[in-house]
Structures are given as C-alpha cells and as structure tokens.
Structure 1
C-alpha cells in the first residue's frame, strides 16, 4: 500500500485502536497485527502458485501481495508457553508474526463459516478483523432492529399519542448513517472489483439511498400538509436490510433457496391456477343461470370473478361445505362437482406442489452446502500455503507442531499447551508428527468440537472438602445417584404424584415436593453445579419444582386465598408438568425431543424469513386499510352507546355482513401489531375469506388481490418450503443421533485416551443409543496420576455444521471446488457433478 492512506481507512484503524487498547508494546492486544516479528524470517511469503489457494491467487491477480514473511520454526512450544508473566506476554504479542496472524484469521473464518474476501495487506487485515468486532456487529443488529421498530412510532402508530412526524425520521437517518458506515468499512478491506460484484452490497446501497429520498419527500409533504396522510413508500423494503449484510448469511441462503425453488415450481403453480380457472368456468355454466343465492343472500356463481374466488377459497377448505350447500340442496348430484374439484386441486396439485418444492429445495440446499464446504476449504488452503514448509526430503509440504501452536496461540490465547498438542495429534492421523494439507483442511471441524480440560471439571465440593467428597459415604451416594434405578424410582414417583393430583389429595403434595427437592440436591452433590446445569432436564426440574413449591406455599397462606382463582390455577398446573420429564426416560422419546431442540435455532432462521414477508405485507396493508375498520372496545357491539356507523365496526358498509356478524372488528390494519395478528390469522386460513370480505366491503373488490398474493406467497410457497426445511433438518439430525459411530474427531480423542473418565483397555464400554449419552454420561472421576484429560461437551450442533459434515464426507478430501463446475449456475439440471449424483 502507498504511504498516503485513505482517510476512511485511517479513521477505522483509529477506532480499532481505541476499542482494543492497542499501543506500542500493549500486552492486551492478542488479535491485531503489529510491526516487526521475531517469529518470522526475512524470506518472502511461500509460493502461492498452488491452484488450491483461491484467495492468494486473487490477490496476486489484483495487485502486489503484502510483505508478510514465512514463519520461523526455530521457536519451540516451550518458548511460547513457558513464561505466562505480563512481560513475556507483551514480548510475544508485540512480536507476533504477520503471516501467522493472517493464517489464524483465515482459519477462524473457516471455523466460523465467514467467506468474505479481503486484501491480505497489513491494514486491510486490521480492518477486516475490526469489521467482525462484536461491538460493531451488535450495534448493526440494533440499528436494523430500530429501523424495523419505527413502524410502532410512525403513523398509524401502535400508541395513540404519536411523535411528531420528524422524530422517527431523525432516528432512521441515524440508523441509516451507521449502516452506511458499515458498507464503507466493508469496502475498505476488499478489492473494488470484488465489492461491486457483490449484489448484496449494491442492494444495501440502493436501500439506503431510497430510504433517504423517501424521508426527504415525506418530510416535504408532511411539512406542507400533514393531514393529507403522506405515504412512506420505502417502509415495505426495510426487511431487506436483514438480508443484505454479511452477518445474515443463513437468512440470505434461505432466500436464495426460496428464489431458486420458486423458479422451478412456477409451472406447477400455473397448472394449478389453470385448473381452478377451468373449474370456475364450469361452475359458472352449471350454476350461473339457476338463480341461486348463498346463506347471506348473495348471488351464487353469478359472475366469473365470483366463481373463481369461491373455488380458490375452497382449495383451502375454509368455506367447505358452505360453498357447496346451495347447489347440494337443489340436487345431491351437484356434490360430485365439488368432490372432483377438491381431489384434483387439493389432493393432487397441492401435494404435487409440495413434492416439487421438497425435491427442489433439497437439491439447492445440497449445492449451497457444497459451495460452503468448498469456500471453507479454500480459506484453509490459503492459510496452509502461508505457513507450510518443505519436507526434509524436499518433496511436498507440511505444517509442524510449532507452527500449529503459533496459530492456536493467536486464535485462542488461553488454550493450554496440552490442549493445543492434543488438537494437533487428533489431526495427525498417521502419527508422523506433521500435518499434511488434507489433514489441515479438517481443522475447522475439529475446532468446532467443544472441549473442557480436566481441571475445569473439578467439582467445587472436591476442591473445598476433598476428604469428605472422596469418603466412602460420598462415593456410595454418587454410585446411587448415577445408577439407572435411581432415575426409575423418581420416574415412578412422578406417576404416583400425578395420580394423587388427579384424585385431589393435597396432603401428599408436600411429601412429593420434599422427595423431588431431595433428588435435585443429590444430583447437585454428585455431578456438581456446572454439569448439573448443563443438562436440560435438570434445569427443567429446578423450574418445575421451584414453581410448584411457590404455588403450594401461596395456596397454603390464608390471606392470599382471595387471589384470583384463574391465576392460581395457572401457577398450580406447573405441578403437572413433571409428567413431561418421563419423556427423558425413553431413548426414542429423548432422541426425538433432542432433535427438535437441536434444530430449533435453525427453525428460527426461517422464522426470520417469514417475518420479512409478514412485515412487508403488514406495512402495505396499513397503507391500504388503516382506519377502514375500527374497534371501540367492549361497547363496539352495543348500539346503545355508539352511533350506527360505529356500531358496524366504524363503517356502515359492514352492516349485517358476515365479517360483522362474526365480530371481527378488532381484526384490522390500524397499527403494526394488529396488522401482524391479521396476517397470522390469514396464514392459518380458517375464516380467511371472511376476513377478506370485510376489507373488500370497505374498500374495493380489487382488495382481494392483496389477500390472494399473501396466500400464494406465504401459505402456498413459503410455508411449504418451511415444511421441506423441517423435514430435511429433522431427518438429518434424527439419523445422525441414531448413528452408532462417533464423528471422526470425537472418536480420535477417545482413541488417543484423552477422554475424561475413559475406561482402561479391556473394560466394557457402556452402551447407548445416543452418541451424546456415550460421551457425556461417562464417569467423571479424576485421579492425579491420569494426567490431563479432556471432555467432549454436549452441544447443539447447527444444522449447517451437520450438513457440512454429512456432505463433506462425499467429496474428495482435497477438492477445493476450483474446477469450472463451480462457476456454473447451481440450478442448472444439466450439470454433471452435484451432490445428488454422489448420493445416488
């Protein structure tokens, strides 16, 4: 880089120094690059001509690489870990090798599935690390949340006393300013070609520009005449801010899959709509001239739009059998028309649509995962090429334990030497003391395995009272608590307690509460607070038993007996929740529940996708339907206190309508909260045609288009894609939970004898159906003579990680996706190499 550094870059660097406290010789800095290095030689970077290193190849093509040097391997592990004093830490941190820092950053990217390209010079590396600073990231989340939340303050506001029109505008300008700053920050460490080729950056810039123009035009309009209800036309676009920033990778991937899936199902959807149109035409010819009326006196299939609407609603079964009854009363044979229609549209086309969506989604998901695996491997390959050294024979390359230790010290300064060495040995599959490229490409998966050292597992009671804890009495208590009959006994107690609750024997409640409290205390003593709290069902016990104790005490206090009965009943029902714990006693139940819990975070991703559609439709709905229908509290349906117009939901057009008869006045679009409730009701589809009819009466028949688009987009497309995701995620998680084998890394830890509480060779290993049970339920006895041990913690693996591990095994270990196939459109069915071909 030239000496004349851009102003934006300098400002960002200054901010970074303030955040990290970096100064010359500052021992607190363990992540930022500094000048000088005693750990590096004066040689230039190792050759990056390997076709496997995509990032380094790009840098060479776009400009000169940084003056980073290859690491010096003369520094030993003992020198890195020997002195933990502040002065030693300062020496190490200020002299950290720039090449090691860059390699460590690339490894961290692969571990965290961060695939942004960045320039590899010193300043760009600093800015890139700063970009992922948690403070900046969470402020960005806050700003997007504020922008979305402005809908509660803008007219029609969630609260009656609204702010002046300019107040939300100022808040939005500040939030948009920060998002603009993040975009400038992003461009500061990327090549300009890479930045402008990224579509999400273009979209984010366009969104900010449109929002600013909207604020200006709205302010001018409202300043001239605020009573004319000026429109903020950019508000429906706000959810796109969630998608078009690098941190929202999962939601963006979900949207890509939705977009590609829609392109493939459009023909099935067209056939479905054509079939509805054909049956509507038949209905018009069959029933149009019979002068029939429905139960509200409206003409029955008198016009083609009316016939089309009635039959489309029938596909959702919302108006079945009401729509059939006028014709059915004339002749029972007419029922065949509606039965055939439902068979063709509902049971054939809608299920075919779901099948096509599932198949298309699964294929796109696999290709997305494949690309993510390749991107991760290219990051690791770039890191490998930076720090690799030649073998003694001069043929081939490898990474030594010293280099690996430097990388780990840069990534995880608090990791012990034993743990770093153990991780190296796990990767070193053939035990030759070095890591090859194929072995190094697996380190991201290894680093995602959560481990704790034996010293972290020492129980509090053992440290404070070792004699008492290691006494024969305590050993007997631990054996009893860990025995399977201990669990069986308390499961039986739960059933007996439920029987006593059912027959209403309150005297026994205190006995069972004392019994279950004793169970919690014994488990705490035997397992320790940390392991006890790590188990879901233990915390479930604490919440349920604690709530039951409070409820029973409230029930027993005389002066609280006047407490509202409904509230007390809700509290007391907590006691019955203990029955849920019985699920944990059966392996199959436990696996299903664990699977559901594990895919929960991934379900939230699609919840975010669904929210973006909800938000946009809610904003549009408020602009169209606000104050068309009103609710006046409990007096809305009492003519004595209201005018005739107010009596009919504030609009005389609803007089004697089905909408008014069903008392749906509070279902309106008068603020963002009520709008979201209406959309959730439309998603369920029960009575959605009645809700639609109300808004049609107060506006125009064309209002049906809004509700039709919402149903097609959210209910037919998004919800079916959501179902496909749930099926795929559940099948994947469930199948892996039933696997008889540990993952490659976890099994290697056991093989090396590093597992905490691992039994000696020749002893029978405990059997189990769930791999988490095999690892986490091992005995945790700690003996000094056993040396350092590690424990594989139970964790909820993300579906993304599970998919990568599942499909990564089907790819060549050193395949980086550098062939021309990677540049092809992943949706093209003519492509020869896909994961579908691998599994077929």
Structure 2
C-alpha cells in the first residue's frame, strides 16, 4: 500500500477482509494519489486508456458528477478479452469484475434507498460495502440505544443509588468512541469536500465533542462535591444521535419536513398568539376590577400574565367551563366573551393552523419523495453507464442478458439462473432482448418484489415428510381448512364465545379454548409456519389463546391461583376482540383495516420523532423539577403516618392546592420513567394546567414557560404534523386500494403470468382482475404453485414505496432531477 494511504483505511480494509472472507486487491494495482485509484468503465477497459484509468465517478443524492470516459461501447464485457494477449487478460478480468461489483453496489444502493456518496476506487468500494455491514450497523443502533438508556442510571436514576457517578460516564465514553469510529469510517470512503459539506456529519462530530466535554466537566464537578448536584447539560442533545447518522434516513426526512413546515406556519401561529393576547387584554379590562375569585379563592383575571395563561389554557378546553363560571355567576352575558374567544381561537385559528400544516406538509413530502426518486435514478444511471453496450446499429446503448446476469450474480449470489432470466424478461418491457436505460432505471422497484421458487414456498413437512404431506389425509385437511365454511364456522364460534362470556358460563370457556387451539393447529399444518405467521390475525390468536393456555397451566400452582385466575379471566375476555376479525370478511372494512396495518411502520417513524422531543423535554424537566414533588406510596395521603411536609407531596407549598387535592403527587420528574408519564399526560391536555400549577408552586411562576413550550412544540406543532401525515398516508393507501393503480413492472408481471396466485393462460380465472386475485386472502393459497413467482402484494406494503411509485408517474422516465447532466 502506498505511504499516502491513510492507516485508518487499511485497518478498515483488513476488518472487511476478516468479516467477508474476501481478499483485497493487490496493493500494487491500487496505488493512488490522495483521491485513490479508479474502477474503470467497461469502455475504459476495452480501450485500455491510461487517462481513463485515473477517472473517478462521484455519485451523490444531489446528483452525479461523472467524468467517465465512454469512447466506444460497441463491445460487450465478455468480448473485451478477444483482442488482449494472455499476459494482460488476467488484469482486465479483475478490472471487469471490479466494475461489475461497483455497478451491483450502485444497484443495491438504489434498491435499498441508500444515497451516500463514495469514491469509486477499489479500497473505497470495499470500505463503503463494509460500512453497511449489518454487524456494524446494529452495533451502532445498540450504542445509540445505550446512550439514550443511560438516563435510567444517571441521577435522578430510575433505580437510585445503584451505580457510582463515574460508571455511566465510562459506558457513554465507550459508546461515543464507537460512534466516532463510524464517522471516521464514513470519511474514509468519501471525498473530503463531500464529507464536510454534509451537515449531519458536522452535527454528529459536534455532539460527540460536546458530550465528551460534558463528561469531563461533570466528572471534575462530581469528584469535588457530588452532593452539589452537578448537571449533565449535554443530555437533552442525545436524541440528535438518532437523526444524524446515515441509517436514520426516514426519521431525518420527517425532521426536515417538520422544519420546513414550521417555517411556513409561523405566521399563522403568530396571529393565533396575538389573538390570545388581545382577548387577554380585554378580559383584564372587563373582569380585573370586579374583585372576583375562582373556586380556590385566587384572584380572577387580576393581572395580565394571569389572564393570558387562563385563556391559553382555555384554548385547549382543559379549564372549560371552570374559567368562565365566576364571571358567568355575575352575569350570563359574560359567557359571550368566552364563547366568541373559543370560536375565534379554537374553531377558527386552530383548524386553519391544521389546514396550513397539512397543505405545507403534503407539498414538502412530495418534494422529498421526488428527490429520493431522483437520487435513486442517479445511482442506477451511474450503474448503467458503467456496463452499457452500444447496440448493433451504432446508435444508443443497452444492457444484454449476459451483463445483467453478471450484475445479478454479484448482487444475489443465491438466485438461480431461471430467476435471473425471469427478472430480465420483466425488465425488458418491449421484448427486444435488451434493457434500455429507461427500463433499467426501474430495476430497483422490481428487485424489491419477493421472487420465490417452489422449494422456497414448500412447507417444512413437505420437504421432510413428502409422503405424509401428499397423503389423502393431509389433502383432506388442506381442503377442509381451505374451504370457506371452515372460516364461517370459527367466525360463528367467536360470536357464540362472546355470548357465553357475557352471560358468564365458565364451563364453556374451556370448550372454546380447546376449539380455538384446534383451529390454530389445523392452520399451522395446512399453511406452514411462515405463511401462518405472515397473517396478523393468526398471530393475534396465537398470543391470546397461547396466553390462556399458559395461564391455565400456571393456575395449577396453589400460591398463584388467585392471581393467575384473574389473569386467565382477563385473557379470556381479550378473546372477545376476535370479533373484530369478523369485519375482515367485508371488503369495505378490509380496505380500512389493511390501510391501517400498512401505514403502521410509517407511524412508528413519527413515533420516533415524537420520542426525541419527549426525551429532551424529560431530561430538562428532571434537571428543573427533580425531587420538588415526592410520592411516598399509599401512605402519601395519610397524615397519621407522615409529617406535614411529606403529607403534601413532600413540599408544604402544595398545601390545599388543586394539585394535592387531585392526588397528583406521583406525577413528578424524579426519574426518566415518571417524567415521560407526565409528558404523556400533558400531551393529552386534560388537567395539564393543574399539573403545571403544582410545579409552579414548588418552583417559580416562570416554570409555566417550560410547560407552555412543550404544549406549543409537541401538541400544537408536532401532533398536528403527525395528523397531517396520517391523513396523507391514509388517503393515499385508501385511494390506491380502491383504484387499479399498478406500476409498469407489475403490469409486465401480470402480462407474463408470473405473479403468485395468478392463473396460467388458458385456465379459468376467478371473477375479477388478475390484481384482485393476487391480493386474495391466504385461504386461497395453500399448495405451492409450480415455477418461480413474484409476490407482488408484498412489494406494496410500505407507504414510502407507494409514494415513490405514485410520484414517479409524474416524472419523465429518464429524468434524473438535474439541470445539468
């Protein structure tokens, strides 16, 4: 290796060799200047141009900057060696293999929506592939999870007095060290300008540096006087680690949408706050001099901050109609003030805010998805340019079956020749035996469609005991389970079971428990574990019925009989939820339920976004309010067992307060778990002003700012953006489920008859279209079909995939999203 090659690069290459068992290229062949040597294109190999061998292709999410030389593509890869001597054939063969490997990596990037830029020399390619090694990736997830989880061990700890102050610091240093290693790894295969221009890299480095400085200052402070409660000021920044690493692409995209949406709704939000301030001024003038008091004896609208706070809380309806009653008791006409206020702020401004958020979010989401489509196409275009061949007429380029096979074998070594050929046939839209650039740009979507052979779909006991599986008895079982009356019978049993539970007939419970267990066993036998587990309601049955069986067995233990008897009752009652399963038999209900299930993973993404705000606010809340309010168990509200100070939630300032009267002492910020519970209560907004009042009493009136910021950030902004996402995703899923939308390759799959569940040509087709047959229930798919089949239905579950396909129809097939290409 050249002395100019960084040591870190060589270490990572060695690690990659150990993990993959692959021998790195000969160092003498990869000697390079600082930017590294180049993987030449096919044409460059053919021409053996020395200048072309030093070129570097740069691909990024913002567009490729390519200086690939492509003088002549009249020969295919397999023809390159025809004019080469034996002494040079081996070298060129290695170059072609590296070119295919690079092209396959770019295709995999497009397939997996990975848009990182990387240098295209041999070592950088290996380092790039190593970066996405699942071992490294999941260790990174673990390290981030450990960093976030340290809040349970640090003061105020979830389990107090379990670890010395330095123990969490050592754990965090180790986790930060690994994250730092990942950043160094990332920089090793990227161009330096690209690396430092990426904001998420800068943020990640700053986060690590700040965390280390915080650990050092905290350790010195705690070492001198731990009783002085030193502060870990970097902890609220920890959720940013989730966002600022390449693997968190979905959460990062959600945050970008939130940031851009907030910038557009800020003026509506300002108008809303100004209207609240104006009504607060009017309330102060109307009620301030009437010497009124609320039900706790506090002055009523005596000061402007008090009026502003009461009316802001009223927008959330948490104090309605309590805030109105003192004035309403004086004169019923005063109710008009509060009614008009609610109409203007709650029913007009808040709904306008939601409408603006929805419109802005939808526009930004569309732009984000289009940029992702363009980035995916640019990856594929770069791969195409590496391996394309000039057609016989000398005009235009294409990819042959031989080249396609080489790419697929590099990308999917276990795929059979039949599967690779079938993929090529689907890609070949016009059937001319080659793949054009426009066709190749859709291959990432096709490769995401599961493709299986008979042996892949064959049940375990079919492979192990074919004679038993193909026996008349097994055939009879399959026919019984497949028959529609099998489902009708157990649907009826669910209804009857619900009736017996309602009228409390204990003896019948054991009969139904055995009956539903038999249903699970028969389905497992007929469908196999994999197909059985792929159905939500089957797994629901396993959890509920399995739980009932376990509870029944444990109930036999005498000292747990009462407890487990209650558990069994609860589980048996939960079985009533199986009634919901009945709606799956109706098309309209099934569409709604399927839509909800399909958008579930995307909802989890926004759950992660919400968690980042929860975590940061929880950490800040613990630093401000820890141990200000305490809970002493069930004796907290019994004066005989506690001192007067302890009796009032450990703080005499709460004496006779609404917070204490409502028994909210366990709602505090004394550890991360309790803090998150308080924040969830604030999100619901019921009694959130009462919770706020308690912490204000034990600290300072300025504490309201914390709760006000949480409400504005999480409830008003984030939750409304979350609602906008749910609306858009649901409308999209519901519309597509009701329409005949299908992508180009899906239409080709149906045309060729390669879809799983689709009848062969000449066979009687079920009523409805091919597409409707494909998405039929599991009950229609028991025997494995002959040949290789595409699972079209499974390729359309992700909302992101549906968005990409939908917006791709609005783009030119070869549009790469670049003004200069």
Partner residue in 2 for 1:673: 673
Distance 1:578 1:782 in 2: 23
Comparing 115-124 with 502-511, greater Cα deviation is found at 502-511
Change in Cα spacing, 1:780 to 1:341, as seen in structure 2 (3 Å) is: closer
Change in Cα spacing, 1:519 to 1:101, as seen in structure 2 (3 Å) is: same
Pair 1:505-2:505 in alignment? yes
Comparing 301-310 with 157-166, greater Cα deviation is found at 157-166
CA contact (8 A) 1:147 1:172 kept: yes
Change in Cα spacing, 1:683 to 1:788, as seen in structure 2 (3 Å) is: closer
- Cα deviation digits, residues 474-520 of structure 1 (max 9, x gap): 54543343232332222122212222222223333344344333433
CA contact (8 A) 1:110 1:444 kept: yes
- Cα deviation digits, residues 539-587 of structure 1 (max 9, x gap): 3233333334445566789897544653332233243233232122222
Change in Cα spacing, 1:400 to 1:352, as seen in structure 2 (3 Å) is: same
CA contact (8 A) 1:38 1:97 kept: no
- Cα deviation digits, residues 145-173 of structure 1 (max 9, x gap): 11111111111111121422222222222
Distance 1:505 1:701 in 2: 58
Alpha-carbon distance, 1:740 to partner:
3.2
Comparing 735-744 with 603-612, greater Cα deviation is found at 735-744
CA contact (8 A) 1:462 1:469 kept: yes
Change in Cα spacing, 1:543 to 1:57, as seen in structure 2 (3 Å) is: closer
Change in Cα spacing, 1:305 to 1:125, as seen in structure 2 (3 Å) is: same
Comparing 500-509 with 421-430, greater Cα deviation is found at 500-509
Distance 1:177 1:378 in 2: 34
CA contact (8 A) 2:757 2:781 kept: yes
- Cα deviation digits, residues 688-733 of structure 1 (max 9, x gap): 1011111111111111111101100000000000000111111112
TM-score normalised by L of structure 1: 0.88
CA contact (8 A) 2:73 2:389 kept: no
Distance 1:137 1:612 in 2: 20
Comparing 515-524 with 682-691, greater Cα deviation is found at 515-524
- Cα deviation digits, residues 103-147 of structure 1 (max 9, x gap): 001000000101111111111111111111111111111111111
Change in Cα spacing, 1:624 to 1:800, as seen in structure 2 (3 Å) is: same
Alpha-carbon distance, 1:659 to partner:
0.8
Comparing 563-572 with 615-624, greater Cα deviation is found at 563-572
Distance 1:566 1:12 in 2: 57
Change in Cα spacing, 1:673 to 1:807, as seen in structure 2 (3 Å) is: same
Distance 1:612 1:706 in 2: 16
Alpha-carbon distance, 1:671 to partner:
1.3
Alpha-carbon distance, 1:770 to partner:
11
Change in Cα spacing, 1:76 to 1:560, as seen in structure 2 (3 Å) is: farther
CA contact (8 A) 2:754 2:790 kept: yes
CA contact (8 A) 1:622 1:675 kept: yes
- Cα deviation digits, residues 184-209 of structure 1 (max 9, x gap): 11111111111111111111111111
Helix, strand or coil at the partner of 2:435: coil
Change in Cα spacing, 1:471 to 1:20, as seen in structure 2 (3 Å) is: closer
Distance 2:50 2:255 in 1: 34
Comparing 612-621 with 534-543, greater Cα deviation is found at 534-543
Comparing 257-266 with 748-757, greater Cα deviation is found at 748-757
CA contact (8 A) 1:738 1:771 kept: no
Helix, strand or coil at the partner of 1:784: coil
Alpha-carbon distance, 1:92 to partner:
14
Q: Which runs of 5+ in 2 are unaligned?
A: none
Alpha-carbon distance, 1:762 to partner:
4.1
Helix, strand or coil at the partner of 2:504: coil
Partner residue in 2 for 1:789: 789
Distance 2:79 2:519 in 1: 49
Distance 2:518 2:117 in 1: 56
- Cα deviation digits, residues 263-318 of structure 1 (max 9, x gap): 11011000000000000000000000000000010000000000000000000000
- Cα deviation digits, residues 781-831 of structure 1 (max 9, x gap): 99999655555463662211111011011111000001xxxxxxxxxxxxx
Alpha-carbon distance, 1:219 to partner:
1.8
CA contact (8 A) 1:622 1:670 kept: yes
Change in Cα spacing, 1:270 to 1:63, as seen in structure 2 (3 Å) is: closer
Partner residue in 2 for 1:301: 301
What does 1:589-600 correspond to in 2, within 5 Å? 589-600=589-600
Partner residue in 2 for 1:98: 98
Alpha-carbon distance, 1:38 to partner:
18
Distance 2:784 2:501 in 1: 49
Distance 2:119 2:638 in 1: 70
Change in Cα spacing, 1:66 to 1:690, as seen in structure 2 (3 Å) is: closer
Distance 2:579 2:60 in 1: 64
Distance 1:769 1:566 in 2: 50
Helix, strand or coil at the partner of 2:782: coil
Comparing 36-45 with 354-363, greater Cα deviation is found at 36-45
Comparing 753-762 with 232-241, greater Cα deviation is found at 753-762
CA contact (8 A) 2:125 2:189 kept: yes
Alpha-carbon distance, 1:23 to partner:
3.6
Comparing 272-281 with 487-496, greater Cα deviation is found at 487-496
Helix, strand or coil at the partner of 1:205: helix
CA contact (8 A) 2:118 2:125 kept: yes
CA contact (8 A) 1:738 1:770 kept: no
Comparing 46-55 with 518-527, greater Cα deviation is found at 46-55
Comparing 213-222 with 409-418, greater Cα deviation is found at 213-222
- Cα deviation digits, residues 366-411 of structure 1 (max 9, x gap): 0000100000000000000000010011110000011111111111
Distance 1:578 1:84 in 2: 71
Change in Cα spacing, 1:741 to 1:283, as seen in structure 2 (3 Å) is: closer
CA contact (8 A) 1:276 1:311 kept: yes
Change in Cα spacing, 1:599 to 1:773, as seen in structure 2 (3 Å) is: farther
Comparing 78-87 with 534-543, greater Cα deviation is found at 78-87
Change in Cα spacing, 1:288 to 1:135, as seen in structure 2 (3 Å) is: same
Comparing 664-673 with 157-166, greater Cα deviation is found at 157-166
Distance 1:351 1:793 in 2: 37
Partner residue in 2 for 1:218: 218
Helix, strand or coil at the partner of 2:523: helix
Change in Cα spacing, 1:716 to 1:387, as seen in structure 2 (3 Å) is: same
CA contact (8 A) 1:610 1:718 kept: yes
Partner residue in 1 for 2:343: 343
Helix, strand or coil at the partner of 1:322: coil
CA contact (8 A) 2:654 2:694 kept: yes
Comparing 125-134 with 749-758, greater Cα deviation is found at 749-758
Change in Cα spacing, 1:184 to 1:222, as seen in structure 2 (3 Å) is: same
Change in Cα spacing, 1:329 to 1:791, as seen in structure 2 (3 Å) is: closer
Alpha-carbon distance, 1:68 to partner:
10
Q: Which runs of 5+ in 1 are unaligned?
A: 819-840
